[in-house]
Structure 1
Amino acid sequence: MYVITAPTSTIGRLVVDGLLDRGERPRLVTRDASRLAPGVRARAEVVEGSHGEESVIDRACADAEAVFWLAPDDPAAPTADAAYVDFTRPAARAFARHGVRRVVAVTALGRGTRLAEHAGAVTSSRAMCDLIAGSGVNFRAVACPSFMHNLLHHVGSIREQGRFAMMADPDLRAPLVAARDIASTVVRLLLDGTWTRSGEVACLGPEDLSPNDMARIVSEVLGTEVGYGRITGAAFRERMTGFGMSEGMARGLADMFEAKNRGLDNAEPRTAQSTTPTSFRTWCEEVLRPAVTG
């Protein structure tokens, strides 16, 4: 039995689709089963509730061979540690109690680098992985740089103002990865019963791009000029708290972006194995352009 947490998230949906396409009947843990597509509900087992709750994740892990673990976005969490580590504690106990053989989780790059030691959400995500690995399961962390799909948060400003703004250094080239490639890696690891112990698999996309490179490609794909503007950490935190995010989570994200500006995502060497296929241009053509023009 393959257990999938956060099955309605961007990555979770793709993992579910990948397993269904291979004839599997996964067990999906979701707060709201009505958010699952009817075709998915008919072909999967559903456990309703938060996977951060002891009773829910305990029920989900019964007879589980492998689990895909994804801590949900929780802007109201008091700190990044609460959102990642504290949320995962019940699951780590359930993995050990039920003898789950393999767990796969999505995390950030940076293991073994000093840049990851004070990197807010990245530091907490890495601590989450250590907690899971410490439960005794065989564990793989799918380590990723910034996600291409994060640009979807800027669709309104791209459409209405012809620009997007982030904390990133406009000229710093770094890897970007598509959600579909992360999901493909997760599915491969879930279905592969041969790996053991704890390890990490990096997904770096096919190329390194700066925000200015991204703006150029977006402009070419949309056929209209789109610019990039850099905002300060203070402005970013103010924006996030204005949207209702807690001070602790806003600080954790800002610290993460500061670490990325210091080269966090560039510390992982690119290899044939870590290079994933979907280019930013392809993603813009297939995902961003319909979102902006639709």
Structure 2
Amino acid sequence: MIVITTPTGQIGGRLLEILLNENRTRGEELRVIVRDPGKLPDAVRARVDVVTGSHDDADVVDRAFTGADAVFWLVPSHTQAPSLTAMYSGFTRAAAKAFTTHGVGHVVGVSALGRGTPVAGRAGHVTASLAMDDLIASTGVAYRALANPTFLDNLLRQVPSIRDHGVFTDTAVADRKTPMVATRDIAAAAAGLLLDRTWTGTGEVPVLGPEDLSPSDLARTMSDVLGRPIRYERQTFDDLRKALAGRGMSDALVQGYLDMMRAKADGLDDAVPRTPQTASPTSFREWCEQVLKPAVQA
């Protein structure tokens, strides 16, 4: 049995779709942990075992992990978390205990690039995510952390600005190229690991996308696909702080994002080479045509 957390999110939802399609031939039992089962389509609820609740709750994970062979682990965003440690390792602590209690064999988690780099210890959310990986690995479960760069899908937060003003923002230098990945590629990598389960030990699986991209590259491709000029405006860290605080985030989360973006500027995502094993298939142009353009036009 595979247990899926965040089954209504971008990555968890796509992963569930992949596994349900695979299940037409494999017959793998699937269980999901979800706060609101009503957010799952009726056709999905009919094909999975549903455990209602939050996956930081010890009683919930005890029920969910009973009889489980593998777990997909993703910590959800919590805008009012008092600290990054609470948001990542604190949220994971009950599950880590339950992995051992219930003899879960394999866990696949969503994490980040940066381990071993000089800036890994001061990278905000990434630093906390890597500590979460260490917590899971310490249980003795076979664990693979999907080590990801910035998500292409983060641009969906800026759809109103792209649509209404032809502008998107970030803190990066306009011509600095870095890896970026589509969340559907992360889900596909997770599915492959969850369905295999011949692997042992702990380690990272980088998912880097097919190409490095700069904000200037993004602007050119978006302009081409959307058929109108889209320009990049570099945001100051002070402006980013104000924008994040305006979304109601706690001071700890705001500072975590600022530290992460500074670390990315200092090379956090640059240490892992792209190879056939670390590349993933979805190009930015393909993502724009299939995801961004419909969102802008909606």
After TM superposition, is the score higher than 0.5?
A: yes
- Provide the residue aligned with 1:102 in structure 2: 106
| Per-residue deviation, residues 38-76 of structure 1 (Å, max 9, x unmatched) | 111010000000001111111111011000000001111
Given that 1:141 and 1:201 are in contact with CA atoms closer than 8 Å, whether structure 2 keeps it comes out as yes
* Preserved contact between residue 19 and residue 25 of structure 1 (Cα < 8 Å): no
Q: Say whether residues 1:156 and 2:160 are aligned partners.
A: yes
Asked if 1:189 is matched to 2:196, the reply is: no
Match of 2:57?
Answer: 53
Please, which moves more after superposition, 39-48 or 263-272? 263-272
Check if 1:228 corresponds to 2:232.
yes
Structure 1 contact 169–230 (Cα < 8 Å) conserved: yes
Q: Please say if 1:239 is aligned against 2:207.
A: no
Task: Please state how far the C-alpha of 1:270 moved relative to its aligned partner.
Answer: 1.1
Counterpart CA distance in 2 for 1:236 and 1:10 is 23
Aligned residue for 1:81? 85
Q: Which amino acid in the other structure matches residue 261 of structure 2?
A: F
Contact 1:237 1:247 in 2 (8 A): no
Moved more, 75-84 or 26-35: 75-84
Question: How many residue pairs are counted as aligned between the two chains?
Answer: 294
1:5 partner amino acid: T
CA distance in 2, matches of 1:233, 1:127: 25
Give structure 1 regions of 4+ aligned residues with deviation exceeding 4 angstroms.
none
How far apart, in 1, do the equivalents of 2:286 and 2:209 lie?
12
Question: Which aligned pairs between 1:31-46 and structure 2 lie closer than 5 A?
Answer: 31-46=35-50
Aligned letter for 1:51? Answer: H
What percent identity do the matched residue pairs reach? 52
2:272 and 2:81 map into 1 onto residues whose CA distance is 29
User: SS where residue 114 of structure 1 aligns?
Assistant: coil
Answer yes or no: is the 8 Å Cα contact 1:27–1:46 preserved in 2.
yes
Give 1:25 deviation, angstroms: 3.4
Deviation at 1:139, TM superposition (A): 0.3
What CA distance in whole angstroms lies between the structure 2 residues aligned with 1:106 and 1:156?
Answer: 28
**226-235 vs 206-215, which deviates more?**
226-235
Q: Whole-Å Cα distance in 2 between the matches of residues 14 and 25 of structure 1? A: 17
Q: Structure 2: how far apart are the matches of 1:202 and 1:292?
A: 30
Q: How does 1:129-278 map to 2 (within 5 A)?
A: 129-278=133-282
Structure 1 residue aligned with 2:118: 114
Look up the equivalent residue of 2:234 and give its one-letter code.
Answer: R
Per the alignment, in what secondary structure is the counterpart of residue 269 of structure 2? helix
Question: Per-residue deviation at 1:166?
Answer: 1.2
- Segments of 5+ residues of structure 1 without an aligned counterpart are none
Distance (Å, rounded) in 2 between the aligned partners of 1:292 and 1:81: 36
How far apart are 1:238 and its partner, in Å?
1.1
1:128 and 2:128 correspond: no
1:12 corresponds to 2:16: no
Shift, 1:237, TM fit: 1.4
Shift of 1:232: 1.5
1:226-277 Cα deviation digits (max 9, x unpaired): 0111112221111111111111101101111111111111111111100111
Aligned partners of 1:208, 1:116: CA distance in 2, in Å?
20
Task: Find the residue that maps to 1:43 and give its secondary structure.
Answer: coil
Match of 1:65 among 63, 69, 80: 69
Q: Which amino acid in structure 1 is aligned with residue 95 of structure 2?
A: A
Question: Which residue pairs with 2:21 in the alignment?
Answer: 21
SS in 1 for 2:32: strand
1:22 Cα deviation after fit: 1.1
Q: TM-score, normalised by structure 2?
A: 0.97
SS in 1 for 2:54: coil
- CA distance in structure 2 between the aligned counterparts of 1:97 and 1:25, rounded to whole angstroms: 20
Q: Once superposed, what is the RMSD of the aligned Cα atoms?
A: 0.8
The whole-number CA distance in structure 1 between the counterparts of 2:51 and 2:37 is: 8
Q: Deviations over 1:163-217 (max 9, x none)?
A: 0111222111001111111111100000112100001111000000001110110
